[in-house]
Amino acid sequence: MSSLQEIRFALERYWHERGCLIHQPWDVEVGAGTMHPETFLRVLGPEPWRVAYVQPSRRPADGRYGDNPNRLYKHQQLQVILKPAPDDVQEQYLKSLQAIGIDPADHDVRFEEDNWESPTLGAWGIGWQVLLDGQEITQFTYFQQAGGIDLSPISAEITYGLERIAMYLQDVEDVYELAWSGDIRYGSVRHEEEYQLSRYSFELADVELHRRLFESYLDEAWRLLGREERRTALAAYDWCLKSSHAFNVLDARGAVSVSERAGMILRIRKLACAVAATWAAGDRPAEGAGA
């Protein structure tokens, strides 16, 4: 029986052996591994890129005060980007399951249609959810567009839900019962955090402050993008991510009306698209540095 961290090590080693840079989580709040600049920005432009990292992903509205055995305010995604997608990308993925002790021949492993779209990032892709005996364990996507830009080459994105997979492998029904390491449970590491952050998002977050933050984050990003000298896209992108998180907190707090919602998402998307355009137009590392 593998602990959560052993599963993570095994996957990182597996992808390390296949030429991936093993990166760190992005240190700004994000809702998914896709928002990490190593995905969102690196999939733009022609340079090949291979990277893997674990990204703690915050979804304030999914918080359940630590009471729900399956839902979390913050969960861990292990994200892999292969650009361009190799022709045996599915086989490589399936072998990674073997690396963590899942032999597909003993199970029912399927690729069922599930396309992905992020309205805030102006991004979408075609792909599947991978089901292991009826449980979704991975999202597999061929990115088609990011930041409103049509992509070429096409990247494959593989997103493992680490807690889900670990629950399956350890045969536990409550996420807090997972063995994080050999002797420390997930609950003792994270339960209090889940409680406090759920409470914050649903009850305590200062709505007026977050509205101001949302506006200020957007303003700061646009100020950076509007400067004449270049090389501001990365800094602007952090503020874009911050605005997205502020929006998520407001949303969880019930402070976003239906009519407001679409408008706010659109404002984040416009910013994300502007960042992507600036990056693609030359704000990225010099030719060859990424290869």
Other C-beta atoms closer than 10 Å to the C-beta of 105 total 7
CB-based contact 275:147 (threshold 8 Å): yes
Dihedrals phi, psi of 63, to nearest 5 degrees: -60, 145
243-282 mask for other proteins (x: CB under 8 A)? --------------xxx-----------------------
166-185 mask for other proteins (x: CB under 8 A)? --x----x------------
Give yes or no for residue 106 binding other proteins (CB under 8 A).
Answer: yes
Give yes or no for residue 150 binding other proteins (CB under 8 A).
Answer: yes
| CA distances for 20 relative to 9, 65, 79, 199, angstroms | 14, 36, 11, 38
In the set 2, 5, 90, 216, which binds other proteins (CB under 8 A)?
Answer: 90
Q: How far apart are CA 268 and CA 263, in angstroms?
A: 9
In the set 24, 152, 181, 188, which binds other proteins (CB under 8 A)?
Answer: 152
Q: How far apart are CA 72 and CA 230, in angstroms?
A: 39
Give yes or no for residue 98 binding other proteins (CB under 8 A).
Answer: no
Q: How far apart are CA 54 and CA 62, in angstroms?
A: 19
Identity of the residue, 102 or 162, whose beta carbon is nearer to other proteins in the bound complex: 102
Residues within window 204-223 making contact with other proteins, judged by CB under 8 A: none
- Beta carbon of residue 172, minimum distance to other proteins (angstroms, whole number): 10
In the set 5, 99, 107, 170, which binds other proteins (CB under 8 A)?
Answer: 107
The full DSSP string for 84-117 is SPPTTHHHHHHHHHHHTT--GGGS-EEEEE--EE
| CA distances for 112 relative to 33, 108, 132, angstroms | 21, 12, 11
Calculate helix-pair angle for 4-17, 162-170, nearest 10 degrees.
Answer: 120
Size of the site for other proteins (CB under 8 A): 44
Site stretch for other proteins (CB under 8 A), options 104-112, 181-189, 206-214, 223-231: 104-112
CB-based contact 4:186 (threshold 8 Å): yes
In the set 87, 183, 203, 208, which binds other proteins (CB under 8 A)?
Answer: 87
Give yes or no for residue 51 binding other proteins (CB under 8 A).
Answer: no
In the set 110, 227, 230, 231, which binds other proteins (CB under 8 A)?
Answer: 110
Give yes or no for residue 25 binding other proteins (CB under 8 A).
Answer: no
127-146 mask for other proteins (x: CB under 8 A)? -x---xxxx------x-x--
CA-nearest of 240, 166, 163 to 194 is 163
In the set 70, 181, 204, 223, which binds other proteins (CB under 8 A)?
Answer: 70
Query: What sign for the dihedral angle of Cα 248, 253, 255, 261?
Result: positive
* Contact residues for other proteins, defined by CB under 8 A: 46-48, 69-70, 82-87, 90-91, 94, 104-113, 115, 126, 128, 132-135, 142, 144, 150-154, 168, 173, 257-259, 291
